[in-house]
Amino acid sequence: MLIRFLLFFILILTFSCTEKEKQSIVNFPTHFEQTQGTETATYAQTIEFYIQLAKEFSEINIQTIGLTDSGEPLHIVTYNVEGDFNFRKLSKEKLVLLINNGIHPGESDGIDATMLLFRDLATNKIDAPEKTVLVTIPIYNIGGALNRNTGTRANQNGPKSYGFRGNTKNYDLNRDFIKSDSKNARSFAKIFHLVNPDIFIDNHVSNGADYQYTLTHLFTQHNKLGGQLGTYLNSEMMPSLEKSLMANNWEITPYVNVFNQVPETGFSQFIDHPRYSTGYTTLWNTFGLMVETHMLKPYKQRVEGTYELMKQVINIAETDGAKIKELRNDALTRHQNWSTYPIQWAVDSTQHTTLNFKGYQGDTIISKVTGFSRLKYNRNKPFTKEIKYQNYFKAIDSVVIPEAYIIKKGYDKIINLLDLNQIVYKTIKADTILEVESYKIQEYKSRINAYEGHYLHYDTKVAAQNKSVHFSKGDYLIITDQPGFRYLMETLEPAAVDSFFNWNFFDAILQQKEDFSPYVFEDEAEEMLKNDTQLNQDFNLKKEEDLEFKSNWHAQLTWLYKKSNHYEAAHLQYPVYRILKNNAKSVN
């Protein structure tokens, strides 16, 4: 009797499955599923999988947009229940969710989870979103994905083989968004501005400590996002995601921003500057979320957690889509009410969030390898403790927002990036003299080691001066009141963390091209001091106040040389000028 009942039950289940659900089981298994969750799909397998889905299901479309450094094109795959893939229309009618995978191909969880997600949507295994369009970049770092190996993720618990972090030119692509040295980043910009996503997810894997969670989230920093956008992100969107995951037996915590130390001492939120994917997308008021699964958890579990998180973000999009659209639309003009723009941020120690953090006891023991103290987590001693999470930041430096910038012609790489990011500008029609605010680079430090193809500057300070400057026909005038406002402020203000100046785009101005011969200039320096009483007083005062200067004859001659008419105006002169609002009427 029992056997008959079981057979009848299986028969009922078989006939109750839709034809599409059967197809998903029989015709569209992923490589991840075929290997019982132990392997990740190769680049070729991934693209072929989506091509077959697109052939079978009208709700799915695959297309190529732009090249990568590998020579292979970048793909986007779109799911829309209505089968319409006109993004100009879609971005107005529906919420758009963009999912990026494989920026670090060794962190492959999102690659497999998104394949499962699109397959299950197409086959009706899960409910199709009516108000949301999903777009994914299946594998962003194609060069890294093709450089497959089994060893470079030293501590990661699966899959068996995977791609490499660096791309074909060995760039870490999650440091390249603002500088765009790679073809990948330039193609991403095309995709981003075509799709115009309301929510952006970048899937990663991480480990800085050991703890009980499989999932951690790294939302873009809410104070930096600012205003009603930041408030919604911190007070509604993030708690909603946490609650919905908990209801589905997936606990999540903020990204554990520590390395080789125990988390229970507290930690701060990671702040995503525009070099990072979510920092870049934030410049256009897109809600950014980096998913960081824990690399010590089993691979199958990590993929399943990423899949569930994306499902819950879709549910939030379906519920809050109209509100998210309204917030983003309002943010297009919010800068018109600002007088200053923040360019440097720091933790606000007056505020914090308390987490009920689920970790493991960390013991300090003597290393059998080095003989020194080492950290070792004890998974037999789990705990839940209240810890301080510093997720509030404050601006520590700001600039007055200009009406416009003027860039001297010749800086083609910058203009190309402005074009790529749909920045509107015009060229000056005839030679003219304008009253502008001019920057001299006053101080800066530089990394002593190479960082992503650059020797990055930091702690940059400028000296500002209002003056009349001659501009030539063909120089570029860029009004700041446009959708790319934040992009302009973050790239063209030299003191901003990820400015074009700090990324070495203007390093030629840092080198003095002309100099003096001391044995010749000595005589002219003597005449200068004789004929200029104020200069003489300033010179003697500096010697009194600066003993190092007093004891260095070459420094004294250099100081006088820079006061002479021989000193070149181009040295340390930042070739991007600011037109302040009270001078805007002088611009044609």
pLDDT tens-digit map of 49-60? 999 999 999 999
CA–CA gap between residue 260 and residue 209 (Å, rounded): 6
Which residue's entry shows tokens 């960390």?
Answer: 362
Over pLDDT 90: what percentage of the chain?
A: 94
Peptide bond just before 159 cis, omega within 30 deg: yes
Phi and psi at 234, nearest 5°, equal -80, -35
User: Averaged over 32-40, what is the pLDDT?
Assistant: 98
- The three-state secondary structure class of 13 is helix
Q: Residue 418: pLDDT band by 50, 70, 90 thresholds?
A: very high
- The CATH 3.40.630.10 domain(s) of the chain lie at 18-332
The encoded tokens of residue 219 equal 């939302």
Measuring CA to CA, which residue among 249, 261, 283 is closest to residue 421?
283
How much is the pLDDT for 27?
Answer: 77
Contact 182, 68 (CB under 8 A): yes
Residue 262 exposed, middle or buried by CB count within 10 Å (0-12, 13-18, 19+): buried
How much is the pLDDT for 15?
Answer: 44
CA distances from 409 to 188, 406, 426, 460, 494 (A): 26, 9, 12, 24, 18
How much is the pLDDT for 7?
Answer: 41
How much is the pLDDT for 581?
Answer: 83
CA–CA gap between residue 248 and residue 228 (Å, rounded): 29
Measuring CA to CA, which residue among 321, 339, 343, 346 is closest to residue 269?
346
Q: Residue 587: pLDDT band by 50, 70, 90 thresholds?
A: low
- Cα-Cα-Cα-Cα dihedral sign, residues 346, 347, 351, 353: positive
Instruction: Round the average pLDDT of the chain to a whole number and report it.
Output: 95
CA–CA gap between residue 103 and residue 200 (Å, rounded): 14
Q: Which secondary structure element, helix H or strand E, spans residue 561, and what is its range? A: helix 553-561
Question: What residues are paired with 218 via a beta bridge?
Answer: 290
User: At residue 585, does pLDDT exceed 80?
Assistant: no
Chain Cα centroid distance, residue 351 = 25
CA–CA gap between residue 123 and residue 24 (Å, rounded): 6
pLDDT tens digits, one per residue of 373-384: 999 999 999 999
User: Averaged over 225-231, what is the pLDDT?
Assistant: 97
How much is the pLDDT for 25?
Answer: 52
How much is the pLDDT for 166?
Answer: 98
Q: Which CATH number does 18-332 carry?
A: 3.40.630.10
